[in-house]
Chains A and B, each alone.
Chain A
Amino acid sequence: MLRIVFHRLLQTIVVVFVLVSFTFVAVRLVPGNPFVSDKALPEHLQESVYKSFGLNGTWGEQYVIWWRNVLTKGDFGPSTSLFGRSVNEIITQSFPTSLLLGLVAMTIALLIGIPSGVLAALRKNSMIDYGSMIFAMAGICIPGFVLGPLLQLWVARHSNFFNVAGWESPADILLPAITLGVGVAAYVARLTRGGMLDILSQDFIRTARAKGVPTFTILRRHALRPALLPTVTFLGPAFAAIITGSFVVETIFMVPGMGQHFVTAVTSQDYFLLQAIVLFYGLLIGGANFLVDVAQAAMNPRLRDAN
């Protein structure tokens, strides 16, 4: 078990490192520069501007300096597109917003997905089954950028409770979180149903049934834990889906989160901001994958007890 944890941790660090390095090179391979790109600055001005942002060295030097500042001082550098603001400031402002949105979306996804998947499996080929599988298919085929505007149009505009967009009242989190969560809920429902059907057809469940154990107890004591293994495996990718989904959803509902900053950082070639955001996303997704792997090993006795 400890070996698995160590191995996965090492893997996660390597992946995050490669991802950030790729970003570092990628933004510099794009022609143009991070500063207002329409007019080229005079040579001597450009030099001093580059110098003041620490962009005057070779890529190797910049790379080493950036990592050193990040690791030793926690300093991510200045933003080049939002003048006068540091990347640290932007991230501390937007990260909690995105995290909150992501967590609420994930909660919604699990609260919808797991029960409907379990019910569908228990009542296979019934109206409940078909209903939840149609819902799941709809969740996959109606993505956030379609669902979001429709919710604004048909829900927010007709109620006093929801604002069409913005991030002022606590209720403002609901519509974006639903938009973000429904797609993930769809996959969760399908996976839970599949896992449940697998387990329910096995001998030990039949034995429990034959003994006369009530269905609910069978679920709680025997079926749920192994049946949820595929769902747990999916939580890592689900987390990644929520993060990338937030690019779209934050734009639609004008949520002041990291997703919006990611998109503008790409288009405005904001080197430092982009590197920092990708580092954060990498850590989040890598961390989620790591936790999922460990949880999975802990849930599965065959993996847990292997040295």
Chain B
Amino acid sequence: MELNDEELTRLLKDMELEEPSMSFTRNVMEQIKLEKAPISLKTRVDNRIIYGISAIFATFIVGVFIYAIVNTSFTHQLPEVKIDLSGAVNKALTPGFLVAFLFIDVIIALIYFDSILRRKRARTL
């Protein structure tokens, strides 16, 4: 008689966990008593201190920005700079380049679509 996927899944989900000896936790704790107490590597910093420092920086930046705007004279005229890129752009935008560009876009879109489907299937497994 054959075992179907559902039955196999049910068997696996229902499998019992092994039970260690009654003294397991006690044995572990006894050995732990001989160990040095662990110390967190992350320094504990109060969030208010972080927010305070952030607020000081933000105020300072905004202050400098306002001061700069207030003291700027807008009467100056910017020198005219002309950059002609039309030649370079026309050279680059060949039909072959456009086809290659679109092809890469399609490949990226397919990879992304595939990853979405894989994630969905993984969840339903």
A and B interact physically: no
Q: Footprint of B on A, CB under 8 Å?
A: none
